[in-house]
């Protein structure tokens, strides 16, 4: 089978080489003039699939695959065809990956190698097609759509390119690398091909397509600006053609000059310092020195009615008294240590007849426990006593705490 394909491919390439003048005439003219070429040669090219006739009464044309080969090899700027069908490529890649996994599972190494070769070819063809589409877009942008003559045609070409960019981006969103990762599994060849290489290539292409999209929007704005000015000029020319006796008024003699005619730039530009002129250096330094000078010679002197003496003494020590509530909580902790048994905070409050509010007392007990150093906290255990809130799920209402030695 491989030998037959090799012979057929060599035969096809030889025909392209032998009849290159006919192929290039068809490429440049769009069709073949059968009267200017040998009928036998044209028949050979038609049977080989190089030329084809769309309709019985139409002229022979080049097959799309041959034209695409020439457009790619010649870097023809007239080519505006972009393959935005990304979904079909994604489905084909997944299908071939499943074929490869099945053949590998069935220990059919010959079929597995064939499927892997096809999968490599489809992945690399897809990435090459994507890069080619981006190159075509950049070529159209750098040429500013120079293959069309009017501004309106440039705008239409720009909008076409933007729609193609949107289709490419929408199609690339179909590539879910989590799904491809699941498809590849733990097979090293598939992970290298479908996850590592493909993800890196698509990330670079998406960034470049985003840059292309921004450049297209910038070009579209400039084209529309030119179009607006051109329409204004054409409208004025049409007005002068319809009114040949039109003479512009003397706007200088008017009392109020219209804003349209009052947009000229000033003849004398605003003055500015020339810091590069060496002859002005001394003047500039003197000006800056005067700006920064602060003189208090003219200020009236303030005279005090009597002298004020100031004596430096040592700073007196002072103590900040502890919070009584904190001291009471410390005594509660000491009582737990002395007794060595579990003790309720509210029972201790009622037993010692402390005047603190129960809520403040519980907050201070919890805060005192949480404020202990880690080595001291390890000697205690604090358990909140309460019940879940009946209305709001997840809230635990604490009405007492118990403290004991760990």
User: Residues 75, 130: contact at Cβ < 8 Å?
Assistant: no
- Tell me what pLDDT residue 1 has: 45
pLDDT value at 380 more than 70: yes
- Phi and psi, residue 218, nearest 5°: -65, -45
**Taking residues 256-280, what's their average pLDDT?**
76
- Tell me what pLDDT residue 161 has: 86
pLDDT value at 129 more than 50: yes
pLDDT tens, residue by residue, 276-323: 888 888 888 888 887 766 666 666 767 666 666 667 777 666 666 778
At 79 the three-state DSSP class reads: coil
Q: Which of 164, 2, 147, 181 is nearest to 76 (CA)?
A: 147
- Tell me what pLDDT residue 319 has: 65
d(CA 91, CA 97) in angstroms, rounded, equals 10
**Taking residues 192-214, what's their average pLDDT?**
86
- Tell me what pLDDT residue 276 has: 80
Helices 109-142, 86-105: axis angle to 10 degrees equals 160
What's the Rg (C-alpha) of the chain? 44
Q: How high does pLDDT run on average in the chain?
A: 81
d(CA 88, CA 92) in angstroms, rounded, equals 6
Sequence-ordered alpha helix ranges (H) in 143-279 = 151-172, 177-184, 188-190, 198-242
- Tell me what pLDDT residue 80 has: 54
Range in 139-153, 311-325, 334-348, 392-406 the model is least confident about:
311-325
**Taking residues 370-399, what's their average pLDDT?**
84
pTM passes above 0.75: no
* Residues contacting residue 292 through CB under 8 Å, at least 6 positions apart: none
**Taking residues 207-236, what's their average pLDDT?**
90
Give 266's Cβ-side CA count (13 Å radius): 4
d(CA 192, CA 310) in angstroms, rounded, equals 83
Cα four-point dihedral sign 45, 49, 50, 56: positive
pLDDT tens, residue by residue, 330-359: 888 888 888 888 889 888 888 888 888 888
């Amino acid at each position: 089978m491989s030998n037959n394909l090799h012979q057929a491919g060599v035969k096809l390439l030889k025909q392209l080489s032998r009849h290159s003048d006919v192929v290039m005439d068809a490429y440049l003219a769009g069709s073949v003039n059968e009267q200017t070429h040998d009928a036998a040669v044209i028949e050979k090219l038609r049977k080989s699939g190089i030329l084809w006739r769309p309709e019985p009464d139409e002229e022979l044309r080049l097959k799309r695959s041959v034209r695409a080969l020439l457009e790619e090899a010649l870097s023809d700027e007239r080519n505006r065809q972009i393959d935005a069908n990304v979904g079909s490529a994604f489905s084909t890649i997944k299908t071939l990956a499943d074929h490869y996994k099945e053949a590998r599972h069935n220990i059919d190494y010959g079929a597995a190698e064939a499927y892997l070769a096809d999968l490599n070819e489809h992945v690399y063809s897809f990435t090459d097609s994507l890069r080619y589409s981006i190159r075509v877009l950049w070529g159209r942008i750098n040429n500013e759509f120079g293959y069309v003559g009017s501004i309106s045609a440039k705008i239409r070409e720009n909008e076409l390119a933007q729609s193609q960019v949107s289709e490419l981006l929408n199609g690339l969103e179909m590539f879910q690398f989590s799904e491809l990762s699941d498809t590849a599994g733990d097979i090293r060849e598939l992970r290298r091909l479908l996850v590592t290489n493909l993800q890196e290539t698509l990330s670079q292409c998406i960034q470049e397509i985003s840059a292309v999209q921004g450049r297209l929007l910038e070009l579209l704005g400039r084209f529309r600006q030119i179009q607006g000015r051109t329409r204004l000029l054409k409208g004025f020319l049409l007005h002068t053609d319809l009114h040949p006796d039109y003479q512009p008024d003397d706007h200088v003699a008017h009392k109020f000059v219209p804003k349209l005619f009052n947009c000229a730039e000033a003849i004398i530009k605003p003055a500015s310092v020339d810091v590069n002129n060496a002859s002005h250096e001394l003047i500039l330094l003197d000006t800056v020195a005067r700006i920064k000078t602060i003189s208090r010679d003219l200020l009236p002197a303030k005279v005090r009615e009597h002298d004020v003496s100031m004596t430096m003494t040592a700073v007196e020590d002072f103590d900040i008294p502890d919070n009584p509530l904190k001291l009471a909580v410390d005594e509660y902790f000491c009582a737990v240590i002395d007794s060595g048994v579990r003790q309720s905070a509210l029972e201790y409050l009622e037993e010692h007849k402390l005047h603190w509010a129960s809520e403040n007392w519980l907050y201070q007990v919890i805060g005192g426990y949480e404020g202990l150093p880690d080595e001291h906290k390890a000697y205690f255990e604090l358990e909140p006593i309460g019940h879940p809130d009946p209305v709001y799920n997840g809230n635990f209402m604490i009405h007492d705490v118990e403290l004991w030695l760990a």
